[in-house]
Structure 1
Amino acid sequence: MRIGAHLREDTDPLGMAAELGIDLFQMFVTDPQSWKKPAPNPRAQEFRESAIDVVVHSSYSINVASLNNRLRMPSRKAVEQQAEAAADLGAFGLVVHGGHLRDGEDRMAGFVNWHKLFERQVDKGGFGVPILIENTAGGDHAMARTLESIDRLWSEVGEFEQAGFCLDTCHAWAGGEDLIGLVERVKAITGRIDLVHLNNSRDEFDSRRDRHANLESGRIDAAVLAEVARTADAPIILETPTEDIPADLTYLRDRL
């Protein structure tokens, strides 16, 4: 099992990953709050040749499900550009949030927009890396909060080879999904889990709040989180508060 962490602000992620003794790390390739096109990374060859794997998290502004052309179109472009930048680093995937619609909009149209994202890219030869769709924490109009919505989403994207799934435990808890047996229920829908964001939650079950906590300091039983990690059979990324990531790594290694 490969275990790693999101390295948020470190200027030398490979060095920090080696210091932590992790197998992989997650990073952004551009400002996560902007639409700026990723610049070439001067250390790309070093990333590609490293034994430490990398996965890229896309910008938070991306919403490919949107019915608003002024948001959906730049979102599609940003996914394409950031997947290309991820490929240049030798990353194994680009994590993209499921997105959401506005009140009163047709949810089915949002799921279809996800289909169109992959369908349009097929004509261009595909994305640089697989797109790992991540479940989200809140919003009645979210595309990937509940298992029911993930099921509807997968009916639109499951046919595409480059469509993968990232399971976030804090998001699932905050979205009202019981973590016990969740891995099996997700795999029954998607047939796969390509990455796990293993995070505890600062808030109560079904809170709709996306506030991460370290593994042993949140509202979720840490043993349940360890069981998710064990059964998912996928790489693990911690997105927990930075100062206690070493303790989180120790906890996981002791149990897995």
Structure 2
Amino acid sequence: MRIGAHVDPADPLAEAASRAAEAVQFFLADPQGWKAPVPRPDAERLRAAEVDLYVHAPYVINVATLNNRIRIPSRKLLLAHATAAATIGATGLIVHGGHVNAGDDLAVGFDNWRKTFAYAAESGGFQVPVLIENTAGGDNACARRLDALARLWDAIGEYGVGFCLDTCHAHAGGEELLGLVDRIKAITGRIDLVHANNSKDAFGSGRDRHDNLAGGTIDPDLVVAVIRAAGAPVIVETPGGAVRQGEDITFLRDQLGAEAPAA
């Protein structure tokens, strides 16, 4: 089981070493902006590294929305990030499930997701696996509640899309962690990555605020149980930089009986 952290993108491999991480996740561009990624001068070094690389797409991407001014640029930006992720040898591209606006038909949002993959197929498809992540808030979200997730997978499952399970988002979104992996796999058939995060806020709060594993409102043993059941690589997106994230990684290794990578 590969365990790592979300890190600063300037030098991901140095960040991995500082945390004794076997995997890292990072952004390739401003997570709150619409600019496409630019080529990285360290792309060859990243491709050759033994560390597993994951890219997180910008938060602004929302391919589900009925708003053309957001949906169409979102499709293009998601494709651009997948192409850029492939150049550095990334294992996957994580993107939030998105939402429609209040009063809009959620069914259209699911179909917009389907059209996103059809749009990508016209130019050869996504060059890395796209992993859709569950989200914490919003009554009109495509991947907060499992009933919505099932409808989403009915629309896009044929495209081989992957799934990223965030424990903070599930808890804050109102989904019990106990038995959650089985319920998700019954829908998606897979969990490709776990974002192991505690939550600063209460169950069902709808608020996306991560905490370190030993803090927050989630029993850390439940987070460990989710990881064990999922059997997927793990990324902590917890606060505190290398020191606190390193502690979270060590905690998970101790609980899961995993060995740290050789120095």
Q: Secondary structure at the match of 1:54?
A: strand
Q: CA deviation at 1:13?
A: 1.3
Q: Deviations over 1:133-184 (max 9, x none)?
A: 00000010011000000000000010002x1100000000001000000001
The partner residue of 2:192 within 194, 213, 216 is 194
Q: How does 1:1-256 map to 2 (within 5 A)?
A: 1-7=1-7, 9=8, 11-161=10-160, 163-243=161-241, 244-256=244-256
Which amino acid counterpart does residue 34 of structure 1 have in structure 2? G
CA–CA distance in 2 between the matches of 1:242 and 1:122?
40
Partner-residue secondary structure (3-state), 1:11: coil
Please give the secondary structure, in 2, of the residue aligned with 1:16. Answer: helix
TM-score between both structures, scaled by the size of structure 1: 0.98
Aligned-partner Cα distance in 2 for 1:167–1:97: 11
Structure 1: distance between partners of 2:120 and 2:209? 33
Percent identity for Structure 1 against Structure 2: 56
- Could you tell me how far 1:246 is from its partner in structure 2? 1.4
For 2:62, the aligned partner's letter is N
Count of aligned pairs? 254
Amino acid at match of 1:237: I
Larger relative contact order (Cα-Cα within 8 Å, sequence gap ≥ 6): 2
Q: Which runs of 4+ in 1 moved over 2 A?
A: none
Write the letter of the residue equivalent to 2:210: H
Deviations 1:121-142 (A, max 9, x none): 2222111111100000001001
What secondary structure sits across from 1:159 in the alignment? helix
What is the TM-score of this pair, normalised by structure 2? 0.95
Structure 1 residue 10, shift from structure 2 partner: 5.6
SS of residue matched to 1:158:
helix
Pairwise CA RMSD? 0.8
**Distance (Å, rounded) in 2 between the aligned partners of 1:212 and 1:123:** 37
